Structure 1
Amino acid sequence: MADVSDDGGSVADQIDDSEETSPDELNAVARENVQRVERNRRRAERRADVADLAAISDDESLIGTPSRTTSSAPSTLETPSSVDSSPSLAMHPALQNFDIICAICLYVHDESLPALASTCRIFERPALDALWRNLQSVEPLVKCLPSDLFGTERGRMVLLKPLDTRTWGILYKYTSRVHSITQSDSLTVIELLSSLMLSCPSAPASLFPNLRQLTWHADGTHCAAEFLRMAFVPTLLSLDMQISSASSFFLSVLSSLGTLCPHLQVLIMPSATNGLLRKASPFVAQSISQLNCLKTLYVWDLGNQGNEHLMQLPALQVLVLDLQTSSAWKGRSRLQFPGFHNLNYLVLFIDNFNYALDFPRSLQVIDSKNIGIYFTAAHSFRSSYTALSQLFTILGEKCDHNNLISFSLFDSTGVSTNPDVFKPLHACHNLTQLLVERSWRISMADEELCQLVRGWPKLQVLDISRFVAVRATTIPTLHGLISLLQLCPALTSLTLVIDITKLDGIDFKSPGGGICNNHLEKLVLSNSPMKSPLNVALILSGLFPNLLKVDLDCWDPLVPKIPMSRVRSEKQLEQWKAVNLFLHSFHVVRERCTESMSSDS
C-alpha cells in the first residue's frame, strides 16, 4: 500500500473533499466535452484555411463537472485559448465509459494513484477506490490524518485532540472504500485508531460500511476488540483470524460475530494453545451457531455443544476440523450426533488416534463428497495399522457410499501400512480420486494392487505411492499396471512406483495385449527402477498412446541428501529424461505417419 501522505500532508490536501459526482453525471459530461472539443477542432481547421482574415472565434466552452459544493465564487472553466484542441488531446471514446476508467485504475501502481485521483474528477472516484480497496494495514488511514492529532506520552503514541467534522468527513471518504484489511503483529496503529473511535460522532460500524474481507493475525487485546467492533459489519464475507491470546473483552466481541456479520461465508480460526481454546470455545461456538450463510469453516474441536452447532449450519460446504487438541475434551460423554449432510469437503487434522476416532464414531452419518485426513504425529507400524483399520472401518460405516468421490491421506511423519486398510472404502463405488501423500509407505504386489482398486471402477486419479525404498518395499510390476488399466479404464492421472526391470511376458509391439488408456494426462513413476529407457518408452507408448511425457516435476525437492543415494537418484532421473526423449520422438513419428496417410487419401 503506497503512503498517502507527503511531509505530513495527505491525499485529502490534493483532492476536493466535496461530495462525489455520480458515474452517470461523469459519463454525460465526458461525452458532451468530447463532442465540443471535436467541433472546436474543425472550426480551427477552417480558420487556418483563411488565416489572412480576422476570423472571429465561435468556439464552445467546455462543461465543468457538476459539483454539489456551495461556493460563493463561480467555478472557472477552461477557455478554448487554454485548451489544445488538437486531435491528440481529444478524449478517447473509451474514457466515456465509467467501467473502463475503473479497469484502467486497477492497473495503475499504488504510488501513482493519488496523482491520478487529483488529475480530474473523472478519475477521482475510481482512482481512490483502487487506492483504498485492499489495505495490508490500517496504518495509511492514520497517515491521512493531520499530524498534530497525535503525540508521544511515556514512549507511546497518544491522541492529543479529537477530530473535527471536516476531518471525520475525509476519514469516512477513504474508509468507505475499503473492501479488505490485513492486520498482522503490530497493534500500535490499532490503538490509535481505537482511541479515535471513542470520539466518533456516529456508530462505529459505519466506519467500514463496505468491508468484505478481514485477516487478523495478531493478539486479541482490548484495543483489538475495539477495532473488531468497527470491522464486524453486515457486509463482511470472510474472516481469517489467528490469535495467540485473547482478553475477555475481545472474546465478548467475538461472540457477537453471528449478529454483527450475518452474511459471513468464510471463517478461518486455526487452533492455538489448549488454554486459549478452552477459554475461547464457548464464545466461538455461540457465534458460529448464528452464521446461517457460512459456507467454509476451519476451526478446532469445539466439544459436544460446539460440534452440534456445526452440524446444524444449513449452508456449510467445506469443514476443516482440527482434532489435534481433542485431548482437551477428555471424558466427554459418548453422545450420538446426526452428523454432516451435503458437505463438499471434510478435512480432519489428527495427532492422536484414540481421540480422533471418538469424533467420527459419534456421528450417525458423514455425507461429504471429499474427505481428507492429515496425520501430524509419528506412530509405530503396529499402532498406526490398527488405528487406521479402525478409522477406515468407521468411515466405511458412516460415509454416504453413493456420495463420496474423493479420499485423501496426508502425513508429515511417515506411516507404513498395506492396502488392506482401504477395504472398508470399497463400498464407495463412485470414488473417482484416491490420493495418498508421498510420505506414506504402502507395500503391495500385483494382486494386492488389483484388490485395492477393484471396488472403484470409476477411478480417475490414483496417487498411491512415490519415492519408496525399493529394496525394503514390495512394489507392483508392469503386469500389475496393465491389470490396473483394465480395472480402472477412466484413469486420467496416475502416481505409482512399479518395478520396470521385470519384462517377462511383455510384448513390445502390444504391451497391454489390447489394453491401453487414451485418456491419461499425467503419469508419475518417481523412482521406479528400470534397465533400458528405450524399452520403457516402447511399453509406455503402447499403454498410453497419447502420453507426451512422464512427469518429472516431483524429483527436484526430493533428491535424497545421502551422497550414495543422491548419485543413484541422479542416475535414475537421467534415465527418465531419456524415456521422455524417446516418447517425444515416437510422438513426432506418429504425427508424420498420420499426416502422410491423410495426404495419400
Structure 2
Amino acid sequence: MHICLLPTETLLDIFANIRGQRGSSRGRATIAALARTCRKFKEPALDTLWEHTIGFEPFISCLPDDVVKRTTKWVSLKRHLFSGEWKIFAQYAHRVRSLIIYDVDLDMISDRVVQALVSMPSLLPKLRELQWWDERESFFPLLRALLVPTVRSMKFGSGLYSYEPWTSSFAKSTLLASLGARCPSAQELVCAYADDSHAICEFVCDWKELSHLRTGILNTQSLRHLALLPSLKSLHFRIHGFDDTQSSTTVTMLRFLSCRSVVLSLGDDIEIEYPQDPLDDSELPLGSLDIPDLMVSFSECFSPTLEYISIDFSLSYGSLNEPYLALGFHAVAPLLLFSRLTTLKLAWFCTSTIDDATLKKMAQSWPQIKEFRFGSITTNSPSLTFMGLVHLIQHCRHLRDISMCFRACSIDTSCEPFSKTIPNKKITSISLGHSPITDPIAVACQLHELLPHLTTVGTYRKSEDFNCDWKRVNKYLAALAEDAKTREKLG
C-alpha cells in the first residue's frame, strides 16, 4: 500500500467520491467491497457507507436470517433481539450522520420492528441530520427516539412531496414544543406546520445557534428572538395570522441584520374584496393588507446585504394579476435598496404596470442578480417589450436564470442599448410565460444575438394561440446555436 493512502482523511475523501453525492447503488457496492479488502480500509469505508442512510431496511439487513421475517410487503422480526444482535446493530448505528425517512420506508416495517427500535437505549447516537417525511402519529415514538442532542438539521413534512405541511394536532404540537429541549444545538429546521404559532415559538426561542429556518406562522415573540440571532442566515415564514397583541407594527420594528436569504409567504386565508367596477391601476382594494406598506416594512426589517428574496402571495379570491388589482412600481421600489441581491422571485407581480424604463432602473439597482423571476406567467398584457430584456442583460452580467413576460417584437438591433450590450453566454434557456410575439424569425435572431447559447424558450402551455410561433422560435434558436458551434470549430 502506498504511504499516501495511510491517512484516514485521505481514504474518507476517496470513498466519498466513489459514493457520490446521492450514493448510487454501484458506488455503495464498491465501498462495501473495499471495506472487505483490508483492515486499513474497513473503518473509513464503513463510515462512508453508513454516513448517509435512507430508511431502516439497511439496519435490518445486517441481522441474522433467523431473526428477520420478510414478506412481499414488509419486514418483521421473528423474535426479540439478544445482546449480541444489538451489538451488530450498534456497530453500524453509531456511524450514521444523516437519515432520511419517507412514508414508504415506514410502510415496509412492522410494529415489532418499531418496538425493537424504540427500545434501543441509543438508536443513532451521532445523528446530525434528520429528514422525516411522514405525519402518522403512530410512528412518533420512533421519531422521538431519533431526536438526540447531536442533531443539527431537521426537516419534517408529509409524504413524498417535500415541504407539504403537517396538519395541526395535539400530538404534533407536543412533539414540536419539545424540540428545543431535545435538540438544543439545532442550526436548521424545515417544518411547515399549520395553525399553531405558539408551538413553534416554544422551540424556536430555545435555539441560540439557528441559521436556517423554514416554517409556518411565526408570532411576534418568535420573530423578536430570531431578529436577535447573529447566526440566522435564511428565513422562510408566513407573516399573517397575527392577533391583536401581535400587530404587524411590532414586526416592522424588528431588524434581521444577519439574514442573507428570506422567503415571505402569505397563505390562503388572505381575502381580497373585489370592487364592483374596475379601478385605476394605482388603487388596490386589499382590505387590511397594504402591499406597498408591507414592502416598505420588509425593506426596513432586513439588511441591505440581503442576497435572496422570494415573496409569494397565495390568495383565496382572485389574483394580483387582475388588471384592476395590479400593483405599480411603488410596491417594488423599496426592494431597490438591496443592491447585493443574487436571487429575486416576485412571481405574484403583474408586469402590466412595469415598462422598459422602470425595469432598467431595477436592473441597475441589482447588478449581482443571477436568478430573476418577475411577474406571473399568465399576464395577458405585459407593458414590457423586448427592450426591457435588453436592459436586464446589459446591466445584470451574472444572470443565469430569467422568468418574465414581455411583448416580443422586432427592434432595430443597430441602435442603443442593444448595440452596446455584451451578449450573455451563460444562459441556455429562459421562461417567458404568456409573452405575445410578432415576427418569430426576427425575434429568434435578436435573442440569439443577445443570448448566443440560448436554445429553449419556455412559454405558458395554455396559450396555444401563440405557442406555435414560439415553437418556431425554438427551432430557429437551435439551428442558430448549432451554426454558431460549427463556425467556431472552423475558426
TM-score of the two chains, using structure 1 as the length reference: 0.60
Structure 1 distance, partners of 2:171, 2:386, is 64
Structure 2 distance, partners of 1:149, 1:554, is 55
Structure 2 distance, partners of 1:418, 1:198, is 54
Aligned pair partner of 1:270 in 192, 202, 207: 192
- Give the secondary-structure state (helix, strand or coil) at the position aligned to 1:263: coil
- 1:548 aligned partner, one-letter code: P
- Give the secondary-structure state (helix, strand or coil) at the position aligned to 1:571: helix
Q: Which residue pairs with 1:537 in the alignment? A: 445
Alignment check: 8 A CA contact 1:533 1:579 kept: no
Structure 1 distance, partners of 2:171, 2:446, is 69
After superposition, residues 16-415 of structure 1 pair within 5 angstroms as 91=1, 96=6, 98-103=8-13, 105-106=15-16, 107=18, 109-111=27-29, 116-146=34-64, 160-161=79-80, 163-164=82-83, 166-185=84-103, 186=106, 189=109, 191-192=111-112, 195-196=115-116, 200=120, 204=121, 206-219=122-135, 221=137, 224-225=140-141, 227-242=142-157, 244=166, 252=174, 254-272=176-194, 274=195, 277=196, 281-323=197-239, 326-327=240-241, 330-334=243-247, 336-337=250-251, 338-339=253-254, 340-352=256-268, 385-387=284-286, 390-400=290-300, 402-404=304-306, 407-410=309-312, 415=320
Relative to structure 1, is the Cα distance of residues 151 and 520 closer, same or farther in structure 2, using a 3 angstrom cutoff?
closer
Q: Which residue pairs with 1:517 in the alignment? A: 421
Structure 2 distance, partners of 1:481, 1:156, is 57
Q: In the TM superposition, what is the alpha-carbon distance from 1:336 to its structure 2 partner?
A: 1.9
Q: Which residue pairs with 2:361 in the alignment? A: 454
Answer yes or no: is 1:443 the counterpart of 2:348: no
Structure 2 distance, partners of 1:110, 1:138, is 16
For residues 120-150 of structure 1, give each alpha carbon's deviation from its aligned partner in whole angstroms, at most 9, with x where no partner exists. Answer: 4233323322332222112332343345568
- Give the secondary-structure state (helix, strand or coil) at the position aligned to 1:559: coil
Q: Which residue pairs with 1:559 in the alignment? A: 461
Structure 2 distance, partners of 1:112, 1:429, is 48
Larger Rg: 1
Q: In the TM superposition, what is the alpha-carbon distance from 1:307 to its structure 2 partner?
A: 3.7
- 2:476 aligned partner, one-letter code: A
Alignment check: 8 A CA contact 2:129 2:154 kept: yes
Alignment check: 8 A CA contact 2:130 2:154 kept: yes
Aligned pair partner of 1:420 in 329, 332, 344: 329
Structure 2 distance, partners of 1:156, 1:549, is 51
Structure 1 distance, partners of 2:169, 2:99, is 22
- 1:454 aligned partner, one-letter code: K
Q: In the TM superposition, what is the alpha-carbon distance from 1:172 to its structure 2 partner?
A: 1.6
Relative to structure 1, is the Cα distance of residues 514 and 175 closer, same or farther in structure 2, using a 3 angstrom cutoff?
closer
Structure 2 distance, partners of 1:162, 1:478, is 70
Alignment check: 8 A CA contact 2:336 2:362 kept: yes
Structure 2 distance, partners of 1:422, 1:138, is 50
Q: In the TM superposition, what is the alpha-carbon distance from 1:315 to its structure 2 partner?
A: 1.5
- 2:395 aligned partner, one-letter code: P
- Give the secondary-structure state (helix, strand or coil) at the position aligned to 1:518: coil
Structure 2 distance, partners of 1:93, 1:434, is 46
Q: In the TM superposition, what is the alpha-carbon distance from 1:298 to its structure 2 partner?
A: 1.1
Structure 2 distance, partners of 1:190, 1:314, is 44
With 118-127 and 185-194 compared, the bigger mean Cα shift is at: 185-194
Alignment check: 8 A CA contact 1:495 1:525 kept: yes
TM-score of the two chains, using structure 2 as the length reference: 0.72
Q: In the TM superposition, what is the alpha-carbon distance from 1:442 to its structure 2 partner?
A: 2.0
- Give the secondary-structure state (helix, strand or coil) at the position aligned to 2:395: coil
Relative to structure 1, is the Cα distance of residues 513 and 135 closer, same or farther in structure 2, using a 3 angstrom cutoff?
closer
Relative to structure 1, is the Cα distance of residues 458 and 93 closer, same or farther in structure 2, using a 3 angstrom cutoff?
same
Alignment check: 8 A CA contact 2:102 2:134 kept: yes
Structure 1 distance, partners of 2:10, 2:273, is 56
- 1:336 aligned partner, one-letter code: T
Q: In the TM superposition, what is the alpha-carbon distance from 1:232 to its structure 2 partner?
A: 2.1
Alignment check: 8 A CA contact 1:396 1:427 kept: no
Relative to structure 1, is the Cα distance of residues 458 and 268 closer, same or farther in structure 2, using a 3 angstrom cutoff?
same
Q: In the TM superposition, what is the alpha-carbon distance from 1:318 to its structure 2 partner?
A: 0.8
Structure 2 distance, partners of 1:214, 1:394, is 35
Q: In the TM superposition, what is the alpha-carbon distance from 1:218 to its structure 2 partner?
A: 2.4
Alignment check: 8 A CA contact 1:132 1:174 kept: yes
Q: In the TM superposition, what is the alpha-carbon distance from 1:301 to its structure 2 partner?
A: 0.9
How many residues were matched structurally? 445
Relative to structure 1, is the Cα distance of residues 571 and 92 closer, same or farther in structure 2, using a 3 angstrom cutoff?
same
- Give the secondary-structure state (helix, strand or coil) at the position aligned to 2:420: coil
Relative to structure 1, is the Cα distance of residues 423 and 130 closer, same or farther in structure 2, using a 3 angstrom cutoff?
closer
Q: Which residue pairs with 1:569 in the alignment? A: 467
Structure 2 distance, partners of 1:196, 1:586, is 64
Percent identity between the aligned chains?
18
Relative to structure 1, is the Cα distance of residues 196 and 441 closer, same or farther in structure 2, using a 3 angstrom cutoff?
same
Relative to structure 1, is the Cα distance of residues 250 and 120 closer, same or farther in structure 2, using a 3 angstrom cutoff?
farther
Relative to structure 1, is the Cα distance of residues 425 and 580 closer, same or farther in structure 2, using a 3 angstrom cutoff?
farther
For residues 409-436 of structure 1, give each alpha carbon's deviation from its aligned partner in whole angstroms, at most 9, with x where no partner exists. Answer: 5567853125434354266272656845
